[in-house]
Structure 1
Amino acid sequence: MNWTHSRRTILLASALTLLGCPSSGPTDPPDASTGEPDASTAYEWDGSYVPLKETGNWSDPGRLSACTFVPSNGACDLSTFDLSACNTDSLVNAGTGGQYMLTARDEDPAGGYLATNVMQFNFPNDGGTPNLGSLHLTEQREGNVRLYTNHTAFADGGTRRSALVTCEAPQAPEFTGCYAFCRNGKLLAASTVKSDRVAWRAGESEASGLELVSESYVDIGYPADIYVTKGHAYVVSVTMVTSKPGGLTVFDVSNKAAPVKVKTVQIPGDTYWNGVWAKGDALYVASANKGVNVFDISDPADPKLIRNLPGGSSAINVHTVFVEGNRLYAASNSGVLLFDVTRPLEPVELNRYAPFPGQPHDMFAVGDQLYVNYAFRGYMVVDASNPNDLRTLGSFTYPWQYSHHNAVGTFAGRTLAFEGGEGPGEHLRVLDITDPANIVKIGSFRLRAPISIHNMLLVGKKLYVAWYQEGVRVLDVSNPTQPTQVAYYNTWRESDPGRGAYFDGAMGIRVPGDGFIYVVDTSRGLLLLREK
């Protein structure tokens, strides 16, 4: 499934195929009132809250730079921009190396606000070609001003140009500027931009409250998700470049300080495996080509593929999987597929939840309640007690949404959902879903706006979050109206090979109850962490 913006397809690393997206959560219904006492469970929330208004991820930030656009100039070169109000002297200290997120305020011809987006802008430290998303740029300098352009000519004589110009650097190395997109000599899109260097958050070290126990490189694909069972960690990877296809990597983690890779599984023509779960001797892998690949892991070090779900001759794209009790759920381009897995190696399809066209992204389940992250359609609560009669009980939506992942628990007798989207501005929302027909936002937690939240896992009154370039974040949610960070580990390092995508960093996370946190990072592979 592709995450694309309706205004400009080069955004979000040129609309990379949506990654990361595995479900993460305990198998048994989570109740925040149970579990071993720890520092996060001393507070007992009484269930009271003030409802919060939902306004979406962004409001108008105002123009982000002093540069403007020359009316009717569709050349997408230096003449397209008016830099007369820019303090170009300050650009002498603007960044010329590293990775940046560019927050872009899209504007209409009169300068009015249209939307806020984020673009990935990278300067290779080795002096190579800079890029904007997947576009390779040519650099032109005029004094301290830098102009970056990409030009494409088509066989029919048409042209497409993108241009980014720097304006000033009031807080170097950060800079501001303007972006333009032109087609056939016409200016079609205009934005002011400001940069954020991708690095650890100001004032942070590598870690606080967490320590690295071991690190194991995954040498296939782009690692996306993990499941831990039978003393083994199963890491699935997706294909981002054809030269590095994805698949399954199996680690023996009996020695947490030194996991051992015991097997790699790759299937030609089926290399985009994004989600993974297990039940008994069955391992379920989400495949973009074959649906759900079912492996026999009776020998946990030697998975054997035995079937694909739902089977048949037609291909189906499954992005994520989740198991609750004797039910397997799979988010597909045909909706959420429901299977009976009473016999784990012989799943039987029960029904499909597909109230809308398009693909849901993920889901969570507790008992007979199914909670679906339906991407652009929002967050859905579904009664799945009768698989032949799946009923939507309620939904939560917000402007420019992309509902991506969730975890559900019971606090002070109320059912709460911790919901996260994926994309620019997406963060943690805390929802009271006790009455699904009247869902109320009661809390939130944000980090840097350009960087998207990813997967989350609720254990007792702690929420463990894989937050892309923000690494791993542990939140105390004993007062769910005010989630508080109590620990973190920065997995992202600029020096790691393969960095530079928008969806980059910590993606998959599991806390299986053995005293360790298992994390999948897109560059570093499998990391085992321990709380201090």
Structure 2
Amino acid sequence: MKNLIRCALTVWMIAVCGLGCDDGTPDPTPDAGNPDVESPDAGTPDAGTPDSGTPDSGTPDSGIPDSGTPDAGYEWDGTYVPLEERGDNIDTGPLASCTRILMDDAGVAVPCGSPQSFDLSPCNRGTLSQISPDGIYSVRERPNGATLVSGFLSSGFQISTSGGVETAHGYPLVQKQVDSQTLYLTSLRTLTDGGTQLYAFAGCEAQSAEHLTGCYQTCTNGGQRRSFGSFDAVRTQRLSEPEMSGIQFVSEQKVALGTPMDIYVTKGHAYVVSSDHGPATEGGLTVIDVSDKAHPVVKKVVTLSGDNYWNSVWAKGDALYVGSAKHGVLVYDISNPADPQLVRGVPGDAFDVHTIYVDGNRMYAQASGANQVLIFDVSNPLDPVLLTRYTVPADGNGFGYPHDAFAYQNRLYINQMGQGYYVVDVTDGFNPLPLGSYTYDVQPFNPTHANAVGTFAGRTIAFEGGENTNAHLRVLDVTDPAHIVKIGEFAMRPQTSIHNMVLVGKRLYVAWYAEGLRVLDVSNPTQPRQIAYANTFRDSDPGRGEGLFVGAIGIRVPGDGYVYVVDMTRGLLIYREP
């Protein structure tokens, strides 16, 4: 399944293990007794901006409040109070009061994951009548145990009364009981070794019509291995919030090829890359004429045999750069913007390039599979020249890979997913020099994912977001990379995750998966505040699935007065800048 989205490889490895690995509980027996640049030789980057005109760069249910509204005309003076880093996964204990039962009163083993295996006696089950029997739910799971070592896990389920798709953990339901006192769901997965894994959810109580808690179990091969924990679920579509606020919808264009992942806008065209993620079987590039924003027109679809995972895209001059899982960076000639022509792949060997960032005459390609940042001179955009392959120094466990990067004032800010947020001096493109790093949630991995950097009150400020359950926005003072300080943060629901972000002046545009597009005023970076949003996730969209990685994933704000968002199901959405 390509680990859902490769940028979330670590999350899914942990999720699969956490849901299916042995938790130390043996299969019960009757006597048991108790029941996650100029030129290549100059080594100096051009200070210019990318051709797009802009360098890429709710409800706070997770416990981090919206910090208020700065006064009109407010200018931050650069002062702040350092904030404690608590990580994404702040464990407050079990999420529900239910427990599990291994043995019945007669000492007979209770089948793993069965309704009888959940002790719901402490629950207020009458409140479950609030929950709709139709809808998609995002789930945050807390494995049972005294210490939350692996962090919260993510999953989901969808239920229907009209014959629609019904799943749990991405697999078809095999049992379902939903009524005024009960929410019980199970799905079954067939393992590669021929075994089975059962996922079971049991509702405990509902806090509102969109929020419930309960307990879950996973049972491998009938219970030979099992795990148990509590969950906190929300309706993925935000029914209690209007579809949009502070922003105007312009148009929508379906992308038929694969699952849309990223977008770049130049020459009056939007270039959307897709992967074979989920049910999709073929990735590639969709070229959309957006000269008339209200009526986008698909002009061409580009595919490459055997290469179905295209995750990122950027343009400079007449060159379009595509991050490919098989061929590194694919270079296309877009002198005719509606008809891209393949030039070649760079650096020439087989590479999985996950993301691309262009700053002036430099291109930075994050090769996740090789754990390297490939630095190119793109003075001649159609003929990139490789300067060096930079490997971020590994931490003690040697785990991590460059997921994303942002270049600003001769520094490269790298989201080394699995390790932390790294700052590197790239003045000399042949010889990058590490300057400092910032880490959180190190055990078992650091989910840092995307960032954007700018100058505020004479200080260099970075906006950083992870990809994980409860991933939220961090604001970091990176003026001195050797001593990075957290100065602000902003969060949405803990069942959701950030994906990408773009900083335009003092506004931060965030593609926040199930939370859609979120626009934040960051004029006072210590107090980000939401000024506009657009919910892109709708239960009714054909092909919608459940889980953490659904909804808005790609975003560009090219300076033409519009915001371009890629939703994984709906395709290209165009809004007027607020």
Report the counterpart of residue 324 of structure 2 in structure 1: 287
Report the counterpart of residue 256 of structure 1 in structure 2: 293
Matched, 1:135 2:198: no
Q: Do 1:30 and 1:460's aligned partners in 2 also have CA atoms closer than 8 Å?
A: no
Cα distance in 1 for partners of 2:17, 2:202 equals 17
Matched, 1:509 2:555: yes
Report the counterpart of residue 392 of structure 1 in structure 2: 434
Q: TM-score, normalised by structure 1?
A: 0.89
TM-superposed CA distance for 1:91, in Å, is 3.4
Amino acid at match of 1:523: T
Residues 183-222 of structure 1 correspond to what in structure 2 (within 5 A)? 183-184=220-221, 185-186=223-224, 188-200=226-238, 202=240, 204-222=241-259
**Any gaps of 5 or more consecutive residues in structure 2?**
1-5, 20-35, 37-47, 58-69, 104-108
TM-superposed CA distance for 1:180, in Å, is 1.1
Matched, 1:342 2:384: no
Q: Do 2:175 and 2:187's aligned partners in 1 also have CA atoms closer than 8 Å?
A: no
2:465 to 407, 415, 420: 420
Cα gap change, 1:265 to 1:475, in 2 (>3 Å): same
Query: What fraction of aligned residue pairs are identical, expressed as a percent?
Result: 50
Report the counterpart of residue 159 of structure 2 in structure 1: 123
Q: Do 1:40 and 1:476's aligned partners in 2 also have CA atoms closer than 8 Å?
A: no
1:520 to 560, 566, 572: 566
Cα distance in 1 for partners of 2:508, 2:328 equals 30
SS in 2 for 1:271: coil
Matched, 1:59 2:104: no
Cα gap change, 1:173 to 1:342, in 2 (>3 Å): closer
Residues 198-347 of structure 1 correspond to what in structure 2 (within 5 A)? 198-200=236-238, 202=240, 204-241=241-278, 244-312=281-349, 315-332=350-367, 333-334=369-370, 335-347=372-384
| 423-432 or 153-162, which deviates more | 153-162
1:361 to 388, 393, 403: 403
Cα gap change, 1:389 to 1:201, in 2 (>3 Å): farther
Amino acid at match of 2:344: R
The C-alpha deviation readout for 1:349-387, integer Å capped at 9, x for no partner, is 111121236421110102421110111111100011122
Cα gap change, 1:100 to 1:347, in 2 (>3 Å): same
Cα gap change, 1:487 to 1:295, in 2 (>3 Å): same
2:15 to 2, 8, 25: 8
Report the counterpart of residue 536 of structure 2 in structure 1: 491
Cα gap change, 1:54 to 1:87, in 2 (>3 Å): same
Q: Do 2:259 and 2:280's aligned partners in 1 also have CA atoms closer than 8 Å?
A: no
**Any gaps of 5 or more consecutive residues in structure 1?**
13-17, 19-24, 33-38
Report the counterpart of residue 375 of structure 1 in structure 2: 417
TM-superposed CA distance for 1:512, in Å, is 1.1
Q: Do 1:423 and 1:452's aligned partners in 2 also have CA atoms closer than 8 Å?
A: yes
| 497-506 or 400-409, which deviates more | 497-506
1:147 to 184, 188, 192: 184
Cα gap change, 1:354 to 1:124, in 2 (>3 Å): farther
Cα distance in 1 for partners of 2:461, 2:156 equals 34
Matched, 1:408 2:453: yes
Cα gap change, 1:163 to 1:482, in 2 (>3 Å): same
Amino acid at match of 1:189: S
Cα distance in 1 for partners of 2:574, 2:318 equals 24
Cα distance in 1 for partners of 2:389, 2:195 equals 44
Cα distance in 1 for partners of 2:163, 2:323 equals 39
Cα gap change, 1:294 to 1:106, in 2 (>3 Å): same
Cα gap change, 1:233 to 1:66, in 2 (>3 Å): same
Q: Do 1:471 and 1:488's aligned partners in 2 also have CA atoms closer than 8 Å?
A: yes
TM-superposed CA distance for 1:129, in Å, is 5.3
SS in 2 for 1:374: strand
Cα distance in 1 for partners of 2:378, 2:166 equals 49
Amino acid at match of 1:392: P
SS in 2 for 1:169: strand
| 178-187 or 407-416, which deviates more | 178-187
Q: Do 1:31 and 1:410's aligned partners in 2 also have CA atoms closer than 8 Å?
A: no
Cα gap change, 1:242 to 1:449, in 2 (>3 Å): closer
Cα gap change, 1:173 to 1:459, in 2 (>3 Å): closer
Cα gap change, 1:159 to 1:130, in 2 (>3 Å): same
TM-superposed CA distance for 1:151, in Å, is 4.0
Q: Do 2:499 and 2:513's aligned partners in 1 also have CA atoms closer than 8 Å?
A: yes
SS in 2 for 1:360: strand
Amino acid at match of 2:339: D
Cα distance in 1 for partners of 2:71, 2:255 equals 33
Cα gap change, 1:124 to 1:221, in 2 (>3 Å): farther
The C-alpha deviation readout for 1:72-107, integer Å capped at 9, x for no partner, is 767232332222223334434433220111222211
SS in 2 for 1:250: strand
Matched, 1:448 2:455: no
Report the counterpart of residue 182 of structure 1 in structure 2: 219
SS in 2 for 1:84: coil
Aligned residues: 510
Amino acid at match of 2:433: R
Cα distance in 2 for partners of 1:164, 1:273 equals 35
| 288-297 or 248-257, which deviates more | 248-257
The C-alpha deviation readout for 1:41-81, integer Å capped at 9, x for no partner, is 82211110000010001222332222111257672323322
Report the counterpart of residue 22 of structure 1 in structure 2: none
Cα gap change, 1:94 to 1:477, in 2 (>3 Å): closer
- The Cα RMSD (Å) is 2.7
Cα distance in 2 for partners of 1:83, 1:393 equals 53
Q: TM-score, normalised by structure 2?
A: 0.82
Amino acid at match of 1:196: V
Cα distance in 2 for partners of 1:452, 1:220 equals 24
The C-alpha deviation readout for 1:226-250, integer Å capped at 9, x for no partner, is 1111111111111124654121111
